[in-house]
């Protein structure tokens, strides 16, 4: 089973009430690939970095059995950098700077082997680039797409075109309302499903998440994490947990989708417990299974 991951690789500088880290490994493709590697053996990453991207970052990805044929290194170029500062409630974030660098001219081209990918996760990038990726994949079974308010507000026409060719859209509640131009989250979900996606997942932060389709709706709370150290990458980890569970089962039934939402929630809960990718590194099956059992006990959820 193969999972294609397309998105940013970055060096992040992050400050939260629990400390500060400088130029740690980040970016949507990084989080998605690492999380997905726990569930899918064949992870195919497409992205771009500069010649300043640390070799230890490359080794980290390789050590997680991530295929890097699709990773382009621009000699003399600088890697995408982002810096953010979180306030005490951790729901508010101030972006200190964003330097796109080589990512500004990112033009994803898939190696021939990647074009046969069965599952595709499109990180939060320009919807035009998301379309280019979809056009190159031959017969995908499922395409999951992430986006954000910037693309909704600045490239709505292009985003609408993307929504017509993907299967699952994952966004947060405020983004859903902006996209649907509606103050009701339920009505927003119905409107978005008419735009193209067969499945819509709406995240509500500490209040959980909901999956919507024309035939069912399923909601769960967030996992009760005791200490949130750094929320950076939680959304990407969520998307990864969702699609990688489905890919691992190679099925898209209603029960699989519900359990994928549970898995997405769990993987995001690991992410927020450490700075950068530290919270999602070196997990083993027992770590994941123990947290899953705890969550099922709390919610009295059915077995997978």
The architecture CATH gives domain 2-299: 3-Layer(aba) Sandwich (3.40)
Give the pLDDT score at 304.
58
Place of tokens 């970055």: 10
Are 291 and 265 spatial neighbours (Cβ–Cβ below 8 Å)?
no
Residues 167 and 142: beta-carbon distance below 8 Å: yes
Model pTM score: 0.95
Taking only the tens place, the pLDDT of each residue in 119-141 is 999 999 999 999 999 999 999 99
Which residues in the chain land under pLDDT 50? none
CA distance 273 to 225: 8
Domain boundaries of the chain, sorted by first residue: 2-299
Residue-level pLDDT at 126: 95
Taking the C-alpha atoms of residue 252 and residue 246, their distance in angstroms, rounded to an integer, is 7
Give the strand order in the sheet containing 199-203: 66-74, 42-50, 2-6, 119-122, 142-146, 168-172, 199-203, 209-212, 217-220
Q: What is the pLDDT of residues 14-69, one digit of tens each?
A: 999 999 999 999 999 999 999 999 999 999 999 999 999 999 999 999 999 999 99
**Cα dist. 275→11, 14, 17, 158, 281 in Å?**
12, 8, 12, 34, 11
Residue with tokens 């995408």: 80
pLDDT at 209: 97
């Amino acid at each position: 089973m193969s999972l294609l991951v397309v998105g940013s690789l970055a060096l992040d500088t992050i400050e939260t009430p629990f400390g500060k880290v400088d130029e740690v490994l980040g970016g949507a493709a990084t989080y998605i690939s690492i999380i997905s590697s726990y569930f899918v053996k064949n992870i195919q990453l497409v992205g771009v970095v500069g010649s300043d991207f640390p070799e230890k970052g490359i080794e980290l990805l390789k050590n997680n059995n991530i295929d890097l044929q699709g990773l382009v290194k621009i000699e003399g170029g600088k890697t995408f950098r982002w810096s953010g500062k979180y306030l005490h409630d951790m729901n508010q974030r101030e972006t200190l700077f964003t330097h796109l660098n080589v990512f500004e001219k990112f033009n994803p081209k898939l190696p021939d082997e990647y074009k046969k990918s069965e599952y595709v996760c499109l990180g939060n990038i320009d919807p035009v680039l998301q379309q280019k990726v979809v056009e190159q994949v031959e017969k995908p079974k499922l395409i999951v797409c992430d986006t954000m308010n910037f693309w909704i507000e600045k490239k709505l026409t292009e985003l609408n075109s993307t929504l017509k060719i993907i299967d699952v859209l994952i966004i947060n509640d405020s983004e859903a309302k902006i996209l649907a131009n509606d103050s009701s989250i339920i009505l927003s979900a119905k409107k978005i499903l008419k735009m193209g996606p067969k499945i819509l997942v709406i995240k509500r932060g500490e209040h959980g998440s909901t999956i919507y389709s024309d035939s069912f709706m399923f909601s769960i709370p967030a996992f009760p994490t005791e200490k949130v150290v750094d929320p950076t990458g939680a959304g990407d980890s969520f998307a990864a947990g969702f699609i990688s569970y489905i890919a691992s089962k190679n099925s898209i039934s209603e029960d699989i989708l519900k359990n994928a939402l549970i898995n997405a929630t769990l993987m995001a809960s690991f992410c927020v417990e450490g700075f950068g990718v530290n919270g999602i590194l070196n997990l083993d099956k027992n770590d994941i299974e123990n947290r899953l059992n705890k969550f099922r006990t709390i919610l009295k959820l059915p077995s997978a």
